[in-house]
Amino acid sequence: MPPSSPAVEVSGLVKDFGPVPSLDGKMIRVLDGVSLRADKGRVTALLGANGAGKTTTLECAQGLQKASGGTVRLLGEDPWRAGADLRSRVGIMLQEGGLPPAVRPLPLLRHIAGMYSAPRDVDDLATRLGLHSFARTTVRRLSGGQKQRLALACALVGNPEVLFLDEPSAGLDPQSRNIVFELINELRTEGLAIILTTHLLDDAQRLADYVYIIDQGQTVRQGTVAELTAHASDAARELKFEASARLPLPTARLPHLEVIECAPGQYQVSGALTPKDLAVLASWWAEEGILPSSISLTSRSLEDVFLDISGRSIR
Partner 1 sequence: MSASPLTVRVLQHGKYETVAMLRNGEQLVLAIVLPMLALAAIAVTPFFDVLGVPRLGTGTPGVIALCVLSTAFTGQGIATGFDRRYGVLRFLSTTPLGRSGLILGKILAVGAVLALQLVVICTTAVLLGWEPPLTGVLPALLMLIPGIGAFTALGLLIAGTLRPEATLAVTNLAWVLLAAVGGTIIPRSTLPDAIEPIVAILPSAALGDGLRAALTSGTFDFLSFALLSGWAVVVGLAAVRWFKWS
- For binding to partner 1 (CB under 8 A), which residues are involved? 62, 64, 83-85, 87-90, 92, 94, 96-103, 111-112, 114-118, 154, 158-161
Nearer to partner 1, 152 or 273 (CB): 152
Nearer to partner 1, 84 or 262 (CB): 84
Nearer to partner 1, 111 or 136 (CB): 111
- Alpha-carbon gap, residue 1 to 259, rounded angstroms: 44
Nearer to partner 1, 74 or 281 (CB): 74
Least distance between partner 1 and beta carbon 55 (Å): 12
Element (H, E) at 167: none
Nearer to partner 1, 111 or 253 (CB): 111
Quick check: 125 and 153 in contact, CB under 8 A?
A: yes
Least distance between partner 1 and beta carbon 26 (Å): 20
Least distance between partner 1 and beta carbon 115 (Å): 4
- Alpha-carbon gap, residue 121 to 123, rounded angstroms: 6
Give strand pairing partners of 32: 14
Nearer to partner 1, 139 or 302 (CB): 139
The three-state secondary structure class of 297 is strand
- Alpha-carbon gap, residue 62 to 59, rounded angstroms: 5
The three-state secondary structure class of 222 is strand
Least distance between partner 1 and beta carbon 43 (Å): 20
Nearer to partner 1, 18 or 283 (CB): 18
Sheet holding 42-47, edge to edge: 90-93, 162-166, 193-198, 42-47, 210-215, 218-223
Pairing of strands 294-299, 236-242: antiparallel
Least distance between partner 1 and beta carbon 155 (Å): 9
User: Cα–Cα–Cα angle for 281, 283, 287, nearest 5°?
Assistant: 120
Query: Does residue 19 have a cis peptide bond before it, meaning omega lies within 30 degrees of 0?
Result: yes
Least distance between partner 1 and beta carbon 251 (Å): 51
Least distance between partner 1 and beta carbon 54 (Å): 17
Least distance between partner 1 and beta carbon 122 (Å): 14
User: Cα–Cα–Cα angle for 26, 28, 30, nearest 5°?
Assistant: 170
Nearer to partner 1, 24 or 85 (CB): 85
- Alpha-carbon gap, residue 113 to 116, rounded angstroms: 6
Quick check: 91 and 155 in contact, CB under 8 A?
A: yes
For 7-42, the DSSP string reads SEEEEEEEEEEEEEGGGTTEEEEEEEEEEEEE-TTE
